[in-house]
Amino acid sequence: MADLLKLGVLISGNGSNLQSIIDHIEKGSLKAIIKIVISNNPDANGTIRAKKHGIPVVILKHTDFKNKEDFDLELIKILKSNHVDLVILAGFMRILTPAFLKAFSHKIMNIHPALLPSFPGIHGQKQAVEYGVKISGCTVHFVDEGVDTGPIIIQSAVQVLDDDTEETLAARILKKEHMIYPQAIQLFADGKIEIKGRKVRIKAQE
Ligand code: GRF
């Protein structure tokens, strides 16, 4: 059997995407192993979820470091010592430094709650409701030096209803997030992702 893809998951909050990745791994629809979960927030609910499934957790408070660079160097150290192949940002509320991007070039994925390039940054769902778009959704993409600008891997659309609030739309988008993030990771595990410039091509079945 081929080696399982080794994941390092970075979180800051609830960790429902982390939970979905765990669930897909446990039911066999995602051939990967989570080597480590790192949270910059000691109170993140996601740390409880990880521990429940016997996944090692490290709390790394960014406020304990004198700058972003030092924080990221420690992140890199932990991820490398766990032989992580792919870094998964799952609600991780920190911007990564160039050194981190270089250490895991084209090996960092993020999920964003809007159809990029619309509504990047925080509160993607609120921006969509306030703008009045009829369709929003979520995007899994590789991380580059910009904010939510990297090559897009998978997107899923969600209809915006007339009476949607930020919360109701976010809840429907989250359901789609839980489907497409594990799919994108499985594509990576299968070696089916080809990046050309800012475009991702999904290779056909061999
Ligand atoms: C999700 O909406 C994700 O798109 C965004 O942060 C949120 C994380 O939610 N990047 P959770 O912690 O996975 O529940």
Tens-digit pLDDT profile for residues 137-163: 999 999 999 999 999 999 999 999 999
Q: Give the CATH architecture of domain 111-140+153-206.
A: 3-Layer(aba) Sandwich (3.40)
CA distance 75 to 168: 34
Note whether 9 and 25 are within 8 A (CB): no
Atom of ligand 1 nearest to the CA of 13: 12
Domain limits of the chain? 1-105, 111-140+153-206
Q: Is the overall model pTM greater than 0.85, yes or no? A: yes
Give the model's pLDDT for residue 72. Answer: 98
pLDDT grade, residue 2 (50/70/90)?
Answer: low
**In the predicted model, what is the mean pLDDT of residues 62-80?**
97
In the three-class reduction of DSSP (H, G, I as helix; E, B as strand; rest coil), residue 58 is classed as strand
Per the annotation, the verdict on 62 as an active-site residue is: no
Note whether 116 and 148 are within 8 A (CB): yes
Q: Which residue has the higher pLDDT, 2 or 24?
A: 24
Residues 6+ apart with CB under 8 A from 41: 11, 12, 13, 59, 61, 93
Q: What is the mean pLDDT of the chain?
A: 97
pLDDT tens for residues 35-56?
Answer: 999 999 999 999 999 999 999 9
Over 60: is that where the pLDDT of 1 sits?
A: no
The domain made up of 1-105 is a member of CATH 3.90.245.10: no
pLDDT grade, residue 17 (50/70/90)?
Answer: very high
Atom of ligand 1 nearest to the CA of 125: 2
Which among 83, 106, 112, 123 is annotated as catalytic? 112
pLDDT tens for residues 151-206?
Answer: 999 999 999 999 999 999 999 999 999 999 999 999 999 999 999 999 999 998 76
- Confirm or reject: Cβ of 16 under 6 Å from ligand 1: yes
CA distance 47 to 56: 9
Over 60: is that where the pLDDT of 121 sits?
A: yes
Note whether 21 and 185 are within 8 A (CB): yes
Give the model's pLDDT for residue 204. Answer: 87
Q: Do domains 1-105 and 111-140+153-206 have the same CATH topology?
A: yes
